[in-house]
Amino acid sequence: MADMSTSQKTAMDIFNGIMEYGPLTLYSANAKTKMPIGTIHRHFKQLEQEGKIRVYQSKNKGRKKIEYGPTIYGILSFYRQDKEFAKKIQNYFLIWIENKDFQAELEKEGFDIAHENLKKSKQVFQKYMDYFSAVEGQIDMIKRGDDVVSRDTLIMISSGMLSSNPQYQKLWAELYSSLPGMRKSLDDYMQNMIRSYKIFKKSLK
């Protein structure tokens, strides 16, 4: 887990406040963290834009207050950055699974939120954090150029991302039909993916 800048440390402290006491409004975050309102507002806005926190449904009756809670991606991001935060991850899971908004986050990812299975679910959540921390680390290395990914692999990934666009889907199909070399590269790539998937499935038995 890399050293954090002052701004990252402030964001970490605010996120910790949300995890420990949240969901939090701007003013309740100010009361818990003792940070200036302006600082909290700026970081709330940035954390929300980055998809690390989101507005949670307020439990308070009467005047509605804007309360913020964590996203799974937000938890993953700070799990990677702070060892002390990472040590508390299973406890955080047990605290936040009581919140309906967080339950919705978990269900989107396919987690079992049944109370009778909490022991197993919190362990799965820990493994989820460990695995996707490594995935995010790999993504960071690729972005920095520290990890070399073959051009063929990058082409396949990028082509897959364009496949939802009808215009490029049609072009891809035409090129696939017209260029034997391109067709062979795609076929080899897909066969390797299928082979790897079959090996993975066998390992689960």
- Please write the tens of the pLDDT for every residue from 118-162: 999 999 999 999 999 998 888 888 777 776 777 777 777 787 778
pTM above 0.85, yes or no: no
Residue 49, pLDDT above cutoff 90: yes
Distance of CA 172 to the CA centre of its chain: 30
Distance from C-alpha of 14 to C-alpha of 30, rounded to nearest angstrom:
9
Q: No. of H helices and E strands in the chain?
A: 11, 2
* Nearest alpha carbon to residue 83 among 20, 4, 139, 136: 4
pLDDT band for 63, please (50, 70, 90 cuts): low
Residue 11, pLDDT above cutoff 80: yes
Residues 76, 82, 88, 94, Cα dihedral to 10°: -20
pLDDT band for 102, please (50, 70, 90 cuts): very high
Tell how strand 53-56 and strand 67-70 pair up.
Answer: antiparallel
Residue in the block written with tokens 């998937």: 197
Query: Which class would CATH give 6-144?
Result: mainly alpha
DSSP element (H, E) containing 53: strand 53-56
Phi first, then psi: give them for residue 55, nearest 5 degrees: -70, 130
In single-letter form, the type of residue at position 17 comes to G
Distance from C-alpha of 67 to C-alpha of 95, rounded to nearest angstrom:
17
